[in-house]
Chain A
Amino acid sequence: MHNLDRPSPRPDEQGITTRRSFLRGVLGVAGAGVLGPGALAGCDVLGGDGGGGAQPHPLDGFLLATVALGDRYDATLAAVPALAPALTSVRDAHRAHATALAAELGKEVPKAPANAAPAPADRAEAVAAFAAAEKSARDEAVAACLAGSARLAPLLGAIAAARASHLEVLR
């Protein structure tokens, strides 16, 4: 008889390394502490001029879009509070993704530029807009996962999977 809990992770698997690096990132050892948060965030918003010592990373744009997606939930939940019970955890997931990815990249979580678009007026409009946003965000995460390093692929894949699952909540 085999235990259904198998397959279990083995110590020699790369996921362990990933978690360890993730922890390092969270603890700020990966270089995030060198610059102040403002310097890093400003640099990323401008596309990274390299002058501040923060190395531009191909995922900077993806990270910024992840932050912006969380902001979008904030704006909509403020405009349509009835959605808060269903969508607060989704918003929190986007925030958690940005935090985890920034940690992996050794950066502070950047600030996204303010979104000029007005928040949706009603529930149906908001849900439809989120569904479209989650769908393209999921596809972007899949593309990033496929292009990403072995170290980042598990996190990017989990982000893609979370976004796919958000679509279930938005049905």
Chain B
Amino acid sequence: MTSSLSGSAAEALSTALAAEHAAIFGYGAVGARLDAAGQTAARQAEAAHRSRRDAVVVRIAAANATPPPAAPAYELPFPVTDRPSALKLAIALEEGAAHAWRQALAATSGDDRKLAVEALMDCAVRATRWRSTAGISPSTVPFPGTPS
């Protein structure tokens, strides 16, 4: 069982954790602007980010490091006032988390890298669903987690 974390792995996981905190907060603003199906999708996405957050907190704590706590509030990158801006935020949240998880791949190995690649795939899949819901074509990007 490996419980220790290298400095760069701990930093990368903390960065990813911060992105998960931000995504959880951000989804609070997404759901209210969507229809019933969209609200369900937003709730499921938020739950997925919470469970990923919990896994990372446990992982960092197991290495006797202190997981960074969530900030009390996060500034949204743009006002969320309607369905299009809510969908745009959902996509941005997934892309932001995907970016952090992709960064974490280089700094991690073994189970930690597995956590990171699974998180990256999940974020990419959700981003694709949101783009599709928003009518964005193509709904996929060739290199998820890479800022365009």
Q: Is the CB of B75 within 8 A of A1?
A: yes
A16 closest partner in B (C-beta): B103
On chain A, the residues within 8 Å of B77 by CB distance are 3-5
Q: Is the CB of B117 within 8 A of A142?
A: yes
A136 within 8 A of B: no
Q: How far is the CA of A153 from the CA of B132 in the complex (A)?
A: 28
**Shortest distance between the CB of A164 and any CB in chain B (Å):** 4
Within 8 A of B (CB), among A82-140: 89-90, 92-93, 96-97, 100, 138
Q: How far is the CA of A158 from the CA of B140 in the complex (A)?
A: 12
B21 closest partner in A (C-beta): A2
Partner of B113, one of A5, A145, A164, A166: A145
B76 within 8 A of A: yes
- Identify whether the interface residues of A are mostly helix, strand, loop, or mixed: helix
Q: Is the CB of A161 within 8 A of B96?
A: no
**9-residue interface stretch from B45-53, B56-64, B118-126:** B118-126
Q: Is the CB of A168 within 8 A of B105?
A: no
Partner of B73, one of A1, A5, A153: A1
Can you sample 21 A-B contacts with CB below 8 Å?
Answer: A1-B71, A2-B75, A4-B75, A4-B92, A6-B18, A7-B22, A14-B106, A15-B102, A15-B103, A138-B121, A150-B107, A153-B105, A154-B106, A157-B101, A157-B105, A157-B117, A161-B144, A162-B144, A164-B124, A168-B125, A169-B128
Residues of B in contact with A (beta carbons under 8 Å apart): 8, 12, 15-16, 18-19, 22, 25-26, 71, 73-77, 92-93, 96, 98-103, 105-107, 109-110, 113-114, 116-117, 120-125, 127-129, 132, 138-146
Residues of A in contact with B (beta carbons under 8 Å apart): 1-7, 9, 13-15, 18, 89-90, 92-93, 96-97, 100, 138, 142, 145-146, 150-151, 153-162, 164-169
Report the 9 A-B pairs with minimum CB-CB distance, sorted nearest first. Answer: A89-B138, A161-B124, A14-B106, A161-B144, A93-B142, A2-B71, A153-B105, A164-B121, A165-B128
